Amino acid sequence: MTIEDIENRTVLYGLISRLMMMEVDKTFLESIHRDEAILEMFPNYKAWSKHQELSMDMLKEKYYDVDFANLFLMHLVPYESFYTREDQMIESGGDNPVIALYNALDFRVELDKARVVSPDHIGVELEFMYLLNQALKKAYEAKDSEGIKEILEIQRGFLKDHLLEWAPLFLINMKKEAQTPLYHDGAELVLEFLLSDYEYIVKQINGYREN
Amino acid sequence: MTKSMNNQQPVFMESRRTFLKGTAYSVAGATLAAGAFKKIAETPAVAENSFTATPKTLSFYPPLEQWDSFTELDGHDWKRGGTLRNGVGSVDNPNGIKATEYMLVPLICSNCEAACGLTGWVDIGAYKQSKDPKDLKVRKYMGNPLHPASRGRNCAKGYAVQSQMYDPDRIPFPLKRAPGSKRGEGKWVRTTWEEAMQTIGKKMHDTLKSGDELSKKSIMYHVGRPNESGFGHRVLYSMGVDGHNSHSNVCSAGTRQGLTHWSGDDRPSPDWANSKLIFLQSSHAADAGHFFQQHAGFIADARKKGAKLVVMDPRMSNSAGMADLWVPIWPGTEAALYLYLVNRIVNEKDPKTGRDYIDHDFMKQWINWDVFIRDTEYLEFIVAQGYISKLPEGGSYEDFIKILREMYAPYTLEFAAKECRVDAATLSKLFDMFIEGGDKVTTYFWRAGTIGNRGGWMNVRAGVLALALRGCMRGDVGNVGCYGFHEIFINAKGDAATEAGKKPEKVDAWNELLFPPDFPLSTNEPSYLLPHLLADEAWQKKWADKGLNVPQKIAVYIPRMYNPVWINPDGFRWIEVLKREDKMELTFNLSPTWSETNWYCDYILPTGLAGERHDQHSEATKPARWLGFRQPVLRVALEKMGWKPTDPAKATLEAHMKAGLGEIWEEIEFWANMFVHYVDPDGSLGVKKHWASKEDPSRPVTIPEWYQAAFDHVHHLKAAASKNPKYANSKYPNYEMMRDMGAWLEEDNIFRPQERELKNENGVIESMEMKFDASTLTVEPNGVVKAKVAGSEEVKAMGLILGDKVVEGFKSSSRKMEFFASWMKEWKWPEYAIPIYPVTKEQREKMVHIVSQIHHDHMQKENDFALNPIFRLPYNIHTRSVNSKHLMEISQNHNPIWIAASDAKRLNIKRGDAIKVTITDTVSGLESGYFIAMAVPTEGILPGTLACSHHAGRWKLQNAIEIPGFKEKLGVMGMGAPLYEMTMDEKMGTLKPKQGIDAGLMERKNSWQFKEYNRDIDNVWWDGLSGSWQNAVAPAHPDPISGAHAWHQKVSIEAAGKEHKIGDIYVNYDNNMKVYQAWRDKLARPLDSTNTTRRPKELKRPVWALTDKAWSVNIRD
């Protein structure tokens, strides 16, 4: 594991959590376009002819926001409890194990800021991974191998018990339903990244164990 | 799971990329994270509490034992993460989630007739600390889970009670027309209940003092939806006055007439929940139909079990939209469709079994075929009429069936399709579904079909025949019963608590303003004609010359939470008469809110809304007998916490003043005080004793006394209260139990009640809630059992011999269902004594009395249409919803004029176009004027017909009024009525919109009343200008038989001119008077010297008994 690995993972979790949580804005879109390596991760989006026809503002208003509303507010349900509970109810209270985990680690979700109804929203869960990664960076810089191991274990557990338990189903649906290349590619990106990150983390943990 | 899915979905892995190796992303990406998390260093201790993190179910009501004190978390705080985050708020934990201590006080909604249960959630925590009653607030109204029919659920109108309670424009204290000003000038002064009662009480006293016949017709109490079970009637009759007027006729006389002919009962009572086919006429169920929320729930229960839904209505209502079959029928031709079903039922056999479709058991036993088949004179009459070709061979049941087969044979599929304008395939499918429903077909005859059309009552006669032939009128599981078996009507029965100790005597007068001699068969009072009767002096003279003592004026006119100006046809005529002090000498409205009518009254006395008054209220909404108890929630909460009123007979008024709601009273206490202290203080009129307390005759009866006595009439309730240890030491256990519960199920699963055997208990037999002397029992040749009413000499039918038993039977005089209403012969209408409908144009002209005024025969020009103005909107109720911010917001722009897309295309009308709708009468040929409305072309309406609900189009003439000496202005209907300009000159009237609701409110957004509840006034976005006051244009159409106002209108439409705006109306109300007179003079068959009674005894008068002398009549020809 290198500091670059950690930083790159931080960038990616920051990017995808933002994409999955609220409508895109100019800053976000410009960030994608500024970095060719990131833009490469949205191949259909990159090739989209509408970039030539409409301004970024118009694209947002006419396409991206409409698609976001469709995918995250109207037709799909981007909450873990919807996928994992028998009754498909969104659990926003203390009976939700995700919230219990946040609470245990003293993390609080500001639902009004995130504009979600429950902290087990996919965007919030991805941002939680992002925050853990920042903690990982601190531990790495402090050469705290116990800390690194602990954080990696939390990340592995969170992916295994939560995100990977349900997000793939949501992301497959999202990819099918998406009307814009941005969200189509975004769904694919998140799915692939989560799977690959899980493998990466497991490998790192095994490495630490061997050492 | 992930791995297996990956194996199954290789497509997701094909483009697998590596994200870390050899790539460095720009750090900017990392800053994109939204920052939804915050880290909190310390978590406050979570206190022990009874709250679960998440309620287990959505139907969350605490158990009854906790209703006096139930603490609930504030809804706003859930987004902060529930109690596991910050714990419950307290002095020690100020950041915790707010928990409110409530007292739940049960009541009954009063926004429609359904009487659903509610609970008022009174915030008592703050009051307990401050001891200031002004801290007592109702935070919300929810359902009452103990209510057997509404089952804890409510419609939008139920939850709106809170916004009505804290309406910034509600009337806060008694108002009086300013001395020296004229009615309608809009000048008001503040007065006191004391002054109002003194002035009005003296006028009533002076009126009653003479004791002559006219004095008994000179006080009138006029109710809209009464929403209580009989108290209003007692107010009048305790004075010996025939003066109770109600809106019942104008809303439902068609149904009531038709059903009374059949069974003596005026409303159906279907068992929706267990039926297989729900066959609705006009708008219902999901559309806010009669008993809306409860009926909709039972219909949903049935459909969940597989029942089918058919909706017959020219308009695709919400119900029709979700129905299995929509039958868009030409309005007023429903009888033809029912008789088509009858024809096939009697003339065809079940192809599977080869048996008749007719339920012979039911028909033979419960239909009065025997009276019909033995009346040779009548049979000869119908041969002469051409209904049948020859007399029957004999007098058997089989001969009766043969007559049916011949008489209904002309109602073929081809005829029905042409007459009803319904395609033949739909009619065939309907018949198949009707047959598949077996004896489990339910219906509710109500609204447009029965009240929109002349002869609408015949729809019911024909419809019941189709159902009866299939055994669906037996009142059995899954079919249709009678209303009277499923209701508890005791709100007037507190007599035992009064000094008199018994019911007031029969009334010895007949008020021609209530039951005019022109329409002797009228069902309920044709109250919409009141201004016409008062204004038409030629009519008064005509009947005076014939020997009747017709009133020419009313001394005291008392609308009760009623708005006759706006809801009745010919509104300008109402205004004209209300303004005349020689016709209505003193007027006052018992009304919590402003209304168009109040504007023209002398006093507005603010009585309470649903959660501010006492009433017992019961309705037949399922095959059971239940009752609800409406209560002033703030008073009950205060009393339960130890508060005591200074004057126990004025406790509701005192409680409301203490709690800062205003000088809001209730009718029961008001009238008891009026009669004891102001109308008859010395008892010389004989009225006081009916309202003075038995416990202390010097004061009025109190609420606990009254209801203890009234509930004594409900046997199981009384028994349960007396056995309940909680009330063991109570003086008023019935009252206190109902105060705590608010709803009571007296008897469940009441099926085939007409077959109940009558029991002789100690020489007394009880039938139809009356007691009979068993020793006087006699049996008529037709099996009807008669006896003397206990304690009187009056002999009445009380039962029927069925085998070897005496059973209760139906309420008709034969105690059976009357296919043949033989009394119609003596009352000059023999041709309509049986279910019938004309088949040819020639017959329609001859039988004009039962043919709709908007029959397609009348549609001559390409822009002629039949207009249906009477479908309910689910979130409005005529008068009462205007003060609810919540209901007004959700009802905006929902009331265009529906026009079929094909018609719109033909006439070049587009969505949103303003169109001019001109009303022309088809009896007199006179034009009434026009209104301007917004057109919306739709596939959801039968071509040739239009629809525009008259539930919208409120108006006011001032935004607010100034009260001398009172620093605040009083707003007038700020949430629901735009500002208009009116002109009227005794012949023509106009109304033009001047300012929208939003702009009017902005002018006074700092309304002073209930600021806490109205901080969002500046968010009001609606202008309210989407409806017209079409009732003012519509002339009165009295049905010659039922007396119903036939609401539908023949109209012609054209594009509105540039000078017109939506909301404009222009009325020639001089012509409207002539239209009314034409219907009366050309169609009605009034009393004459052959009549000895005012109306048929078979058509009772609701609700109070009149003396035989009052019933008798001697007309000079």
Residue B35 placed within a domain? no
Facing B25 at nearest CB: one of A35, A92, A124: A35
Facing B29 at nearest CB: one of A15, A95, A188: A15
Facing B2 at nearest CB: one of A14, A92, A164: A164
Same domain, B413 and B266: yes
Same domain, B476 and B551: no
Same domain, B468 and B564: no
The Cα B44–Cα B29 span in angstroms is 35
Same domain, B994 and B1028: yes
- Angstrom distances, CA of residue B7 to CA of A156, A166, B12, B14: 21, 16, 9, 11
- Domain of residue A150: give its range: 3-210
Alpha carbon of B306: minimum distance to chain A alpha carbons (Å): 24
Q: Which residue of A has its CA nearest to B31?
A: A14
Facing A17 at nearest CB: one of B15, B34, B81: B34
Q: Which residues of B touch A8 (CB under 8 A)?
A: 19-20, 23-25
The pair phi, psi for residue B71, each rounded to 5°, is -100, 130
Interchain CB distance below 8 Å, B30 and A10:
yes
Per the rule left: phi > 0, alpha: psi between -120 and 50, beta: everything else, B730 is: beta
Q: Which residue of A has its CA nearest to B39?
A: A107
The Cα B950–Cα B1029 span in angstroms is 7
- Tell me which residues of chain A, numbers 58 to 117, contact chain B at a CB-CB cutoff of 8 Å: 91-95, 99, 102-103, 106-114, 116
The pair phi, psi for residue B105, each rounded to 5°, is -110, 120
Same domain, B1022 and B896: yes
Q: Which residues contact B688 (CB under 8 A, 6 or more apart)?
A: B499, B675, B676, B679, B680, B681, B682
Q: Are B557 and B222 in contact (CB under 8 A)?
A: yes
Q: Which of A129, A133, A130, A134 is nearest to A98 (CA)?
A: A129
Q: Are A14 and A130 in contact (CB under 8 A)?
A: yes
Can you tell me whether residue B1077 is helix, strand or coil? Answer: helix
Alpha carbon of A54: minimum distance to chain B alpha carbons (Å): 24
Label residue A113 by pLDDT band (50, 70, 90). confident
Interchain CB distance below 8 Å, B33 and A130:
yes
Res A211: pLDDT:
66
The DSSP H or E segment spanning B123 is strand B117-123
The stretches of B357-411 forming alpha helices (DSSP H) are 360-366, 369-373, 376-385, 397-407
- Angstrom distances, CA of residue B990 to CA of B38, B580, B598, B916, B929: 64, 19, 19, 14, 10
The DSSP H or E segment spanning B776 is strand B770-779
Task: Tell me the mean pLDDT in the region A114-130.
Answer: 93
C-beta neighbour count of B417 within 10 angstroms:
19
Same domain, B194 and B323: no
Q: Which residues contact B412 (CB under 8 A, 6 or more apart)?
A: B340, B343
Interchain CB distance below 8 Å, A8 and B83:
no
C-beta neighbour count of B72 within 10 angstroms:
17
Same domain, B1029 and B890: yes
First-to-final CA distance of chain A: 13
Q: Which residue of B has its CA nearest to A193?
A: B19
Q: Which of A77, A14, A196, A138 is nearest to B18 (CA)?
A: A196
Res B891: pLDDT:
84
Residue B472 placed within a domain? yes
The Cα B522–Cα B1036 span in angstroms is 15
Interchain CB distance below 8 Å, A106 and B25:
no
The pair phi, psi for residue B1100, each rounded to 5°, is -65, 165
CA angle B16, B18, B24 (to 5 degrees): 145
The stretches of B771-892 forming alpha helices (DSSP H) are 823-826, 841-846, 885-890
Same domain, B280 and B396: yes
What's the one-letter identity of residue A7?
Answer: E
Q: Which residue of A has its CA nearest to B81?
A: A93
The stretches of B143-217 forming alpha helices (DSSP H) are 156-159, 161-165, 193-209
- Domain of residue B782: give its range: 757-807
The Cα B1117–Cα B862 span in angstroms is 46
Q: What is the CATH number of the domain that holds B436?
A: 3.40.228.10
Per-position b or e across B1045-1063, b if 16+ CB within 10 A of its CB = bbbbbbbbbeebeeebebb
Q: B86 — contact with chain A (CB < 8 Å)?
A: no
Q: Which of B435, B451, B484 is the last residue of a domain?
A: B484
Interchain CB distance below 8 Å, A188 and B15:
yes
Interchain CB distance below 8 Å, B78 and A93:
yes
Q: B36 — contact with chain A (CB < 8 Å)?
A: yes
The Cα B454–Cα B682 span in angstroms is 50
Instruction: Please provide the average confidence, as pLDDT, over all residues in chain A.
Output: 92
Can you tell me whether residue B789 is helix, strand or coil? Answer: strand
What sign for the dihedral angle of Cα B722, B724, B727, B733?
negative
Alpha carbon of A192: minimum distance to chain B alpha carbons (Å): 7
Same domain, B1068 and B995: yes
Q: Which residues of A touch B88 (CB under 8 A)?
A: none
Can you tell me whether residue B68 is helix, strand or coil? Answer: coil
The residue ranges of chain B whose pLDDT is under 50 are 1-16, 40-48
Facing A5 at nearest CB: one of B20, B36, B78: B20
The stretches of A89-180 forming alpha helices (DSSP H) are 97-104, 111-114, 122-141, 145-158, 164-177
Residues B345-364 have pLDDT tens digits of 999 999 999 999 999 999 99
CA angle B588, B592, B597 (to 5 degrees): 45
Same domain, B332 and B223: no
Facing B39 at nearest CB: one of A7, A106, A196: A106
Q: Which residues of A touch B86 (CB under 8 A)?
A: none
Q: Which two tokens stand for residue B827?
A: 């009352």
- Angstrom distances, CA of residue A129 to CA of A147, A183, B966: 16, 20, 64
Q: What is the CATH number of the domain that holds A12?
A: 1.10.3480
Interchain CB distance below 8 Å, A113 and B36:
yes
Facing B84 at nearest CB: one of A15, A94, A124: A94
First-to-final CA distance of chain B: 96
Q: Which two tokens stand for residue A152?
A: 């990696």
Q: B5 — contact with chain A (CB < 8 Å)?
A: yes
- What is the number of domains present in chain A? 1
Strand partners, B576: none
Q: Which of B602, B612, B607, B586 is nearest to B667 (CA)?
A: B607
Facing B36 at nearest CB: one of A7, A21, A28: A21
Q: Which residue of A has its CA nearest to B82?
A: A93
Q: Are B837 and B336 in contact (CB under 8 A)?
A: yes
Q: Which residues of B touch A91 (CB under 8 A)?
A: 54
The Cα B809–Cα B796 span in angstroms is 13
- Tell me which residues of chain A, numbers 120 to 179, contact chain B at a CB-CB cutoff of 8 Å: 123-124, 127-128, 130-131, 164-165, 168, 172
Same domain, B904 and B992: yes
Q: Which residues contact B974 (CB under 8 A, 6 or more apart)?
A: B168, B169, B959, B960, B997, B1000, B1001, B1004, B1007, B1017
Q: Which residues contact B64 (CB under 8 A, 6 or more apart)?
A: B146, B740, B741
Which residue has tokens 């709708």?
A: B917
Interchain CB distance below 8 Å, A13 and B33:
yes
Q: A36 — contact with chain B (CB < 8 Å)?
A: no
Interchain CB distance below 8 Å, A7 and B27:
yes
The Cα B726–Cα B737 span in angstroms is 9
The Cα A15–Cα A182 span in angstroms is 13
Residues A148-188 have pLDDT tens digits of 999 999 999 999 999 999 999 999 999 999 999 999 999 99
- What is the number of domains present in chain B? 4
Same domain, B328 and B441: yes
Residue B217 placed within a domain? yes
Q: Are B700 and B677 in contact (CB under 8 A)?
A: yes
C-beta neighbour count of A170 within 10 angstroms:
24
Q: Which two tokens stand for residue A26?
A: 């100019």
Res B32: pLDDT:
82
The DSSP H or E segment spanning A71 is none
Residues A18-63 have pLDDT tens digits of 999 999 999 999 999 999 989 999 999 999 999 999 999 999 999 9
Interchain CB distance below 8 Å, A11 and B27:
yes
Mutate to test the interface with A, among B20, B46, B77, B97 (most CBs of A within 10 A): B20
Q: Are B820 and B782 in contact (CB under 8 A)?
A: no
What's the one-letter identity of residue B1021?
Answer: W
Q: Which residues of B touch A135 (CB under 8 A)?
A: none
Interchain CB distance below 8 Å, A172 and B12:
yes
Q: What is the CATH number of the domain that holds B551?
A: 3.40.50
